[in-house]
Amino acid sequence: MKTDEYCEIIHKSSPVLRFCERFDESSDKWNLKKHSHPYIELIYYMEGKAGLEAGRLHIDASIFDTIASPAARTGWYAAGAL
């Protein structure tokens, strides 16, 4: 499935914002363990860098990157700040 198809699915589903917070890796809100959510998780990097793991996939993220984690997808977790 292409990115525009995923975006169209999200748009048609009338998403609702459940949580919004600004925090860094030292915050107690940041879950560094393997976990999942029953909803799409978006992480937007306003500063700094991080490494994320999703199964065998490694993602490096930095300023202005957005990471989208699919709903109920187990295995997405932060590897820590770079």
| Residue located via tokens 């009338």 | 14
Task: List pLDDT tens digits, range 37-59.
Answer: 788 888 888 888 888 777 777 88
Asked if 50 and 25 touch (Cβ cutoff 8 Å), the reply is yes
Residue 4 φ/ψ region, left for φ over 0, alpha for ψ in the -120 to 50 degree band, beta for the rest = alpha
The reported pTM is 0.64
Task: List pLDDT tens digits, range 52-81.
Answer: 777 777 888 899 988 887 777 666 555 455
Q: How confident is the model at residue 82 (pLDDT cuts 50, 70, 90)?
A: very low
Report the pLDDT value the prediction gives residue 74, as an integer from 0 to 100: 66
